Structure 1
Amino acid sequence: MGNEWAGAAARNNAEWCDEVCRAHGVPGEFGARVWSGARRTPPLYPDAVSLTPEASAADLVARIDMESPGCSVKDSFARLDLEPMGFEVLFDAQWIHRPPGAAPVGPPGISWEPLKSADSLPAWETAWNDGEESEGLFRPELLAGDSTFLAGTSLDGTIVAGAVASRGERVIGISNLFAAGDAPGAQETAWAGCLTEVARLWPGLPVVGYESGESLDAAVGQGFTPVGALRIWLRTA
């Protein structure tokens, strides 16, 4: 089942990447093995994503701009060697899966709900970006797509946690999960609140995503299971 859920998570994540790119005027294309952007994608978003374990390095690099700076590839199954093409490993992570079922109880004092208007996006992005002012990475057009921006707000209305939930054909994908500050257990608290809201909005659907390091540990602590490795490559040569 691990490979099945890793494939579902990779597809769901590529669909979210496609939404972000199209909001920036960069059309993407889904092939049988690869999703790719027609030109350089927005910061932090890959130029290509492998959708199946059979995708080759040639499948990926043949579809993207290899000349301008910042070219990156999401090797969804950690199978490829892109070093000969001038790439280096940026980081490794794990796809994660959580079956539908009882969600953890979110902490008191933090209320979770979807963003209702584009006016809230800058504050959400600023909180996601550790307090750095919004630069418009997340465009208002995204609110009309298949993804939902979830915000955890304190009693005074300040956004202190959040995530993006992307509805796929048979899964909900979670990305961009954050918790303001570095208090112990903040990531676990964010996951608990996020999952409670996801279970309310989309009952009965499994949840997928990818994490690494302490964020992966926090997700596992909230009922997720690692189901496969992925690797992000950045072209530096």
Structure 2
Amino acid sequence: MITDSRATPSPLSAAVRNNALWCDAVCRSHGVVGTAERGVWASAVRTPPLYPDAVTLSPTATPDDVLPRIDLASPGASVKDSFGSLDLSSAGFEVLFEARWIHRAATESAPSRSEGWGPVEGAARLLAWEAAWSGDGESEGLFRPALLDDGAVFLAPTGTGPTGSDATVTGPTGSDAAGTGPADTVPVTAGAIAFPGASVIGISNLFAADDDLDSAWRDCLRATDRLWPGVPVVGYEHGDDLAAAERQGFAPVGPLRVWLRTGA
């Protein structure tokens, strides 16, 4: 497990550490416990789908710090090379993708309105969020309710404000809703995960069913500014997603690579 730090890190260090904390939280929610040492967080057993078996925490970490601590006997090992500084090709790895860490400085003031995106509450709504994020309407239980108790906030349209006003509300609302409200019945058409740690808010898994990434980032940032006023926001993106993030005030602060083991 990675322990959080009270020191104020650089934008790059904050982004790397926040993401490692998030990976650690997802793994622990599945009963997979990783450890951090020698500048690397790693799990000796295979991690949940889409999450790395190791994350480098220092630019001085070497393949010898990473490879002995992960499972190389079964296929599919992956490593998040947080500084783009490793060469794992001789161990049978190939670069799965490259991206850029991004950082958005804290805003001076937070908007007072509570419209737009808001936190997902409850296991059923979390399943609906994951089904929308997956793109195929299915949920495999990757994101478990324990994450809601571990600080993760899954953001989605609430049914009010710029995003939700165009959404169709289905099912009961109000006093006859039997414990549900408008936010629980609005179809999940966009969303993101916000995770506090390392003195920043990490954003990941941002999506929009209509592919309007600029609107999705605007609504996401309005929500983070409201929920965590005065706190910087970090993440990593590539391609069109990176371009959209930059248009909303993010600046690239460093490279990263994700390696996947495809050979013996």
TM-score, length-normalised on structure 1? 0.92
1:207-218 equivalent positions in 2, closer than 5 A: 207-218=233-244
Asked if structure 2 preserves the Cα contact closer than 8 Å seen for 1:104 and 1:195, the reply is no
- Equivalent residue number for residue 161 of structure 2: none
Query: 1:68 aligned to 2:74?
Result: yes
For residues 245 and 205 of structure 2, the distance between their equivalents in structure 1, rounded to whole angstroms, comes to: 13
- Equivalent residue number for residue 188 of structure 1: 214
TM-score, length-normalised on structure 2? 0.83
Q: Which aligned segments of 4 or more residues in structure 1 are displaced greater than 4 angstroms?
A: 102-105
- Equivalent residue number for residue 10 of structure 1: 16
Question: Which residue, 140, 143, 147 being the options, matches 2:145?
Answer: 140
- Equivalent residue number for residue 167 of structure 1: 196
Query: 1:221 aligned to 2:247?
Result: yes
- Equivalent residue number for residue 200 of structure 1: 226
Percent identical: 57
Asked if structure 1 preserves the Cα contact closer than 8 Å seen for 2:41 and 2:54, the reply is yes
For residues 38 and 103 of structure 1, the distance between their equivalents in structure 2, rounded to whole angstroms, comes to: 44
Q: Greater strand percent: which structure? A: 1
1:115-134 equivalent positions in 2, closer than 5 A: 115-134=120-139
5+ unaligned residues in a row in structure 1: which ranges? none
Asked if structure 2 preserves the Cα contact closer than 8 Å seen for 1:103 and 1:192, the reply is no
Residue deviations 1:100-125, cap 9 Å, x none? 116899xxxx8311011111011100
For residues 29 and 82 of structure 1, the distance between their equivalents in structure 2, rounded to whole angstroms, comes to: 21
Residue type of the partner of 1:113? G
- Equivalent residue number for residue 39 of structure 1: 45
User: SS of the counterpart of 1:26?
Assistant: coil
CA RMSD of superposed structures (Å): 1.7
For residues 4 and 232 of structure 1, the distance between their equivalents in structure 2, rounded to whole angstroms, comes to: 22
Q: Would you say how many aligned residue pairs link Structure 1 and Structure 2?
A: 228
Residue deviations 1:41-85, cap 9 Å, x none? 011000000001011111111111011111000000001100001
The structure with the largest alpha-carbon Rg is 2
For residues 132 and 116 of structure 1, the distance between their equivalents in structure 2, rounded to whole angstroms, comes to: 19
Residue type of the partner of 1:20? V
For residues 79 and 170 of structure 1, the distance between their equivalents in structure 2, rounded to whole angstroms, comes to: 25
